[in-house]
Amino acid sequence: MMRRFGRGTATLVMLVAGAWAAATLAETAPEAEAPPGTIEFVGKNTFATANGTFHAWRIVERAIDPADPTKSHAIVEIDLASVDTGINRRDDHLRDPDFFEIDTWPTARVRAYDLSPIGEDEAGRPRFTARFDVDLHGVERTVDGEVVLVEASPPTFEGSLVIDRMQFAVGAPPSRWNPMSIDAEIPVRFRVAF
């Protein structure tokens, strides 16, 4: 199911992961500063791999039940103009109407919630599935991902999800005839320490 929303929302789902990870305190934080950590993504085509990050994002709401993390949720807003792949020309292109269209959709909004335990990772740390409601480029979709509790004190989370940019109408479709076209699936990963 695809729904379109008004201006003011948009960005990669990567932020979603960061949103949940940032939700480790039982409180609402309307003007919270960006949490310590990273939100990163990878874009690929036939010739190159672009590793990117978003430098500006904030938690607009968070609630965590330390006794039961499955009741936790967080909402994160990402400033799409803060995209950084290490090449200014490419970053400017990502901000253009061809991709993020930041003049129309300057931010993305992600809600992380519905955590379900799925055991432990290879290091024995608690692992959860999570749902991410991603509002990007004016389209809202739900994406599934995972989070791991890396440390309990200070609470540190890592997670990942994959965004299909075509579901959010971001950029032209991949084409086997154009080796420069970007893959539709964009892996996103995050780490947040509190």
Domain ranges within the chain, ordered by starting residue: 3-171+184-193
Tokens of residue 127, six digits: 């692992």
Q: What is the pTM of this model?
A: 0.78
Overall average pLDDT of the 60-74 stretch: 77
Structure confidence at residue 68 (pLDDT): 75
Average pLDDT over the chain, rounded to an integer: 80
Structure confidence at residue 169 (pLDDT): 93
Residue 51 near residue 91, CB atoms below 8 Å: no
Structure confidence at residue 158 (pLDDT): 86
Structure confidence at residue 50 (pLDDT): 92
Judge whether residue 172 has pLDDT over 70: yes
CATH of domain 3-171+184-193: 2.40.128.110
Q: Could you tell me which residues come within 8 angstroms of residue 144 by beta carbon, excluding any fewer than 6 positions away?
A: 129, 130, 131, 132, 161
Beta strand spans in 45-176 (E): 49-54, 57-63, 73-79, 83-84, 107-120, 126-136, 139-152, 155-164
Residue 128 near residue 116, CB atoms below 8 Å: yes
* Residue of 192 and 137 predicted with greater confidence: 137
What is the distance between the alpha carbons of residues 129 and 184, in angstroms, rounded to a whole number?
22
